[in-house]
Every structure is written in C-alpha cells, then in structure tokens.
Structure 1
Amino acid sequence: MAKENTDRTTIDLFADERRPGRPKTSPLSRDEQLRINKRNQLKRDKVRGLRRIELKMTAEAVDTLNQLAEYRQISRSELIEEMLTAQLANSRK
C-alpha cells in the first residue's frame, strides 16, 4: 500500500508527523478558559480594592481620552480615574 499525503485513514503512517498549529494545553474549551480567566481577574481587582463601572461615551470623547492617556503614558482607565478624583475633590471644596 502506498502512502498518500492526503490519506488520513491510516493513522499509523502519520503517527510521528507533526501537525501544524498550536498544541492544546488545557482540557477546557476556549469559552470555559475565558470565563475562568475573567473570574480570576475580577478576584484580583477586588483584592486590589478596584470596582468595575461602565459608561457610554461618544467616539470623539474616547479618541480624545486615548490621545491624552497616550501622551501622559498611562492607561485610559487611570486617566479617567484621575479626572474623576480631581473633579470630586474640587466639588467638595
């Protein structure tokens, strides 16, 4: 019997052949891995005293925030927190 490269029915002929692609390192599905990673991230944030909030903004405002955060070399989240903290401090005076 001749070995045909496209023949995948005779597994023994291809046992030592490396298949392209990333090897599977976890028995969990990708969705389950993402769910677990997100849960772990939320736990880490909680330990650090962080809480999640969501807000909707115009694309123009987000672009401006991104540019300012990049200029100051901080994350957008850090920039928004600084701005809110400063505004709250001013309103208390």
Structure 2
Amino acid sequence: MNSKSYKIKEKISDALELPKDITLDIPKISILGTDSVLIENHKGVISYCDNQIRVNTGCGVLTVSGQRLTIKSIIQEEIIITGNISNVSY
C-alpha cells in the first residue's frame, strides 16, 4: 500500500472511529508477561522452530524469539505463541 493510500485510509478510519488494525490491515499484538504472545490479523507463519517463530503481517515480518516456543493456537484471525519469550521484533 502506498503512502497516500495509507493516509486516506487512516483519515477515514479516524473519522468513522473504526479500529485501525482492521481498516489498515495492520496486526494487533498482545504480550502477556514473558510466556504468551497473541498476534491478530496475521498473514501466516513463515518459519517455526523451538527458539524462533516468524509470522508474516501487513507491515512486515514479526519475529518472536525465546526458548521452548510453541504455537498453542492458529486460526485465520489470530496466532497464540507460548513459551519463554525473550524478544518480539520486526
């Protein structure tokens, strides 16, 4: 999405008070302590191992790093990652 298109969608979202994560196709990430990450509005898993999980999103690749990582749940709208999480980054 180009910058102009993004700005227009952002203004419409603000004017109509719509959630930006839905209207702008960006992820909503919730981190619960050091043992759980919820990623909403994802585009799929790119790679998965016990110390790093990479998830495609509308604004880049999200990397969750740690130890004993597992995907507890994955559905079209969200992914729940559990384990000893040390880092979440783009």
| Shorter-chain TM-score tier | under 0.3
> Which structure ranks higher in relative contact order (CA pairs < 8 Å, sequence separation ≥ 6)?
2
Structure with greater strand percent: 2
TM-score by length of 1: 0.23
Structure with greater helix percent: 1
TM-score by length of 2: 0.23
